[in-house]
Amino acid sequence: MPSYRAPVGDVNFLLNQVFGIEKYSNLSGFSDLSSDMLDAILSEGAKLCEEVLAPLNRVGDTEGCKRHDDASVTTPKGFKAAYDAYREGGWIGLSADPEYGGQGLPYTVAAVVNEFSSSANMALAMYPGLTMGAIAALLTHASPELKQTYLPKMIEGEWTGTMNLTEPHCGTDLGLIKTKAVPQGDGSYKISGTKIFISAGEHDMSSNIIHLVLARMEGAPEGVKGISLFVVPKFLVNADGSNGARNGVSCGSIEHKMGIHGNATCVMNYDSATGWLVGAANKGLAAMFVMMNEARLGVAIQGLAQSEVAYQNAVAYARDRLQGRALTGAKQPEKPADSILVHPDVRKTLLTIRAFNEAARALVLWTALKSDVAHRTDDAKARQEADDLLGLMTPVLKGVLTDKGFENAVNAQQMFGGHGYIEEWGMSQFVRDARIAMIYEGANGIQALDLVGRKLPKDGGRGVMAFFNEVGGFIKANAEDETVKGLLGPLGKGLQDLQQATMWFMNNAMMKPDNAGAGSTDYMHLFGLVALGYMWALQIKALGPEKAEDEALETKRLLARFFMERMMPETATRLARITAGADSVMALSADAF
């Protein structure tokens, strides 16, 4: 049975020592957040995740969700009680607007709790996770009336939320959506169509389910410019806020998936269901994008979360498993064999995962803080700077953290030998659960295209220049600092490769966009390596020259060195692929594949 310990200490170090969260006290939600209070919140969240959510992870996988003949769906045993505990702790509204009952704490804190809960039980954490996304979309775009109707109960967790985008023939290309919305003259619409892959679409955890649905009104412009967003509750809401009649939306079936079995992934049938427009007509995609950006960061965090829990269990196994002897002679001669932790290849595998995890966690928090600044500051310049970097980094985090998170889960599973392949050990589930994060909320190829095609050229490259200046500035400013000196060479080389790749796109992709498409995924990973490397430099800088009392913190010096020696060099291969261009990629006729 796998176990999980939330990395509270690491988060405290990052938020207090590395990113100086006290500097943000001018922002709403940050002002009262002392480091003691932060620690108390995180410790409470950790406890819930470790003791309530984690023990149900295997149960969720083996039992899965069940759809009954009446189209109702039952979640795995224990899930409802665990969800209730989560909800009663106030975790769903942690960073939501206090006007509607939220606690108004920083999004950054919610992101941390998201990591903990996703490590503990990703399938379960998705129910509140999707609700938080729906809350964000309603908060930004819905009318005051809709907000008042839905937000308080969603923030409280009495009702949950979903997002309905995908249809059988389209996921990436939402311009092809066929679901129809017909105005009823009373401000409501009748929604009809079929949506697929709807996470938490139907279940037994909440008394109502609030669906956010993309649909097309008759006569709307073709493509994405004719899509509107609607709110469609499972039960219509009476004037007094109680549940009224059953709406015309139901679960047609649930999918048999590779993983996240505990989350009901539904085909949702809308049959003249009553819905209300959220935001302006035909501006549904923009409204949904509010939800998607936050959702993409949430998915990036899932990648990290699976990598973290897989690492913890792989280390525990490696420490206990006696097999063979160290290459340099027996290390535990009193035992029949040495622990496999003596083997360089095992150590290298584990260190690769951990050197990723601790940098990825830093990068998540660095980006989450940008999100908080972007949404909460009154300073226009600061907001724009934060928004630039948030937009730029969102696809990088989504693509890189989920690709590497999955890869790390696979490598952690490998440490178990044959036992890793046996479901009871739980490592297979981490791999299978982690796999979806590379696909949903925009498959990673789409993230790479978003980065290269949209985010890079946006505002004349203002965001990417800001990033280069920040990293380059750090390297310059710390050239003589003995604490980080050893890291700056490899970081500088990585930055140089990234800048060269960026330049290459500028020179070669304007006239021939396929050159950007052919290098997009490599560029995304190249960007990720530099960003993660920068996070290592920031951490070691914050650690300072003195030996840390905490062993885990002192270990960071080694991890930073390991990252620079063994992970950063990959930038060269990525650059070589990018500058190879699109010729050999595009030459083949479609028939010849």
What are the phi and psi torsion angles at 395 (to 5°)?
A: -65, -30
Minimum Å distance from CB 410 to a second copy? 8
Token pair 């795995």 is found at: 76
If the CB atoms of residues 45 and 420 are measured against a second copy, the closer one turns out to be: 420
Which of 259, 279, 405, 528 lies at the binding interface for a second copy (CB under 8 A)? 259
Token pair 């290592």 is found at: 536
Contact code string over 565-584 relative to a second copy, x by CB under 8 A: xx--xx-xx--xx--x-x-x
> Which three-class secondary structure state does DSSP give residue 335?
coil
Minimum Å distance from CB 233 to a second copy? 25
If the CB atoms of residues 244 and 453 are measured against a second copy, the closer one turns out to be: 453
Which of 47, 190, 347, 458 lies at the binding interface for a second copy (CB under 8 A)? 347
If the CB atoms of residues 219 and 418 are measured against a second copy, the closer one turns out to be: 418
If the CB atoms of residues 176 and 465 are measured against a second copy, the closer one turns out to be: 176
529-539 burial: b if 16+ Cβ within 10 Å, else e: bbbbbbbbbbb
If the CB atoms of residues 16 and 414 are measured against a second copy, the closer one turns out to be: 414
Distance CA 208, CA 245 (A): 11
Subset of 544-563 contacting a second copy (CB under 8 A) = 551-552, 555, 558, 561-562
- DSSP-derived secondary structure letter, 450: I
If the CB atoms of residues 147 and 556 are measured against a second copy, the closer one turns out to be: 556
Burial of 384 (0-12, 13-18, 19+ CB in 10 A): middle
The pairing of beta strand 159-164 with beta strand 180-183: unpaired
Minimum Å distance from CB 321 to a second copy? 9
Contact code string over 463-502 relative to a second copy, x by CB under 8 A: ----------------------------------------
Contact code string over 512-531 relative to a second copy, x by CB under 8 A: xxx-xxx-xx----------
Minimum Å distance from CB 395 to a second copy? 13
Distance CA 82, CA 86 (A): 6
Tokens of residue 37, six digits: 């209070």
Q: Is 441 among the catalytic positions?
A: yes
- Name the one range near a second copy by CB under 8 A: 142-150, 283-291, 373-381, 434-442: 434-442
Phi-psi region of 460 (alpha: psi -120 to 50; beta: other; left: phi over 0): left
Is 228 a binding residue for a second copy by CB under 8 A? The answer is no
If the CB atoms of residues 81 and 576 are measured against a second copy, the closer one turns out to be: 576
Minimum Å distance from CB 254 to a second copy? 11
If the CB atoms of residues 110 and 559 are measured against a second copy, the closer one turns out to be: 559
Site size toward a second copy (CB under 8 A) is 96
Is residue 6 a contact partner of residue 116, using CB atoms and an 8 Å limit? yes
Distance CA 493, CA 408 (A): 25
Is 451 a binding residue for a second copy by CB under 8 A? The answer is no
Which of 351, 409, 412, 487 lies at the binding interface for a second copy (CB under 8 A)? 351
Tokens of residue 528, six digits: 């990720």
Which of 140, 194, 323, 499 lies at the binding interface for a second copy (CB under 8 A)? 323
> Which three-class secondary structure state does DSSP give residue 273?
strand
Which of 71, 220, 236, 341 lies at the binding interface for a second copy (CB under 8 A)? 341
- Name the one range near a second copy by CB under 8 A: 182-190, 347-355, 391-399, 475-483: 347-355
Token pair 């930038």 is found at: 571
Which of 344, 473, 489, 544 lies at the binding interface for a second copy (CB under 8 A)? 344
236-262 burial: b if 16+ Cβ within 10 Å, else e: bbeeeeeeeeebbbbbeebbebebbbb
The pairing of beta strand 180-183 with beta strand 208-217: parallel
Minimum Å distance from CB 535 to a second copy? 18
Minimum Å distance from CB 197 to a second copy? 5
Is residue 35 a contact partner of residue 12, using CB atoms and an 8 Å limit? yes
Minimum Å distance from CB 227 to a second copy? 15
Is 81 a binding residue for a second copy by CB under 8 A? The answer is no
Is 253 a binding residue for a second copy by CB under 8 A? The answer is no
Q: Who's near 132: CB < 8 A, 6+ residues apart?
A: 92, 95, 96, 110, 161, 294, 298
Is residue 397 a contact partner of residue 364, using CB atoms and an 8 Å limit? yes
Q: Who's near 175: CB < 8 A, 6+ residues apart?
A: 222, 223, 224, 227
Is 438 a binding residue for a second copy by CB under 8 A? The answer is yes
Distance CA 262, CA 62 (A): 8
Subset of 188-227 contacting a second copy (CB under 8 A) = 196-197
Minimum Å distance from CB 341 to a second copy? 5
The pairing of beta strand 180-183 with beta strand 188-199: antiparallel
What are the phi and psi torsion angles at 256 (to 5°)?
A: -90, 105
Subset of 138-197 contacting a second copy (CB under 8 A) = 166, 169-173, 175-176, 196-197
Is 256 a binding residue for a second copy by CB under 8 A? The answer is yes
Furthest C-alpha separation in the chain: 83
Which of 219, 418, 460, 545 lies at the binding interface for a second copy (CB under 8 A)? 418
Subset of 369-408 contacting a second copy (CB under 8 A) = 406
CA 408 to chain CA mean position, Å: 16
Q: Which listed residue (63, 441, 470, 482) is catalytic?
A: 441
Q: Active-site residues: which are they? A: 441
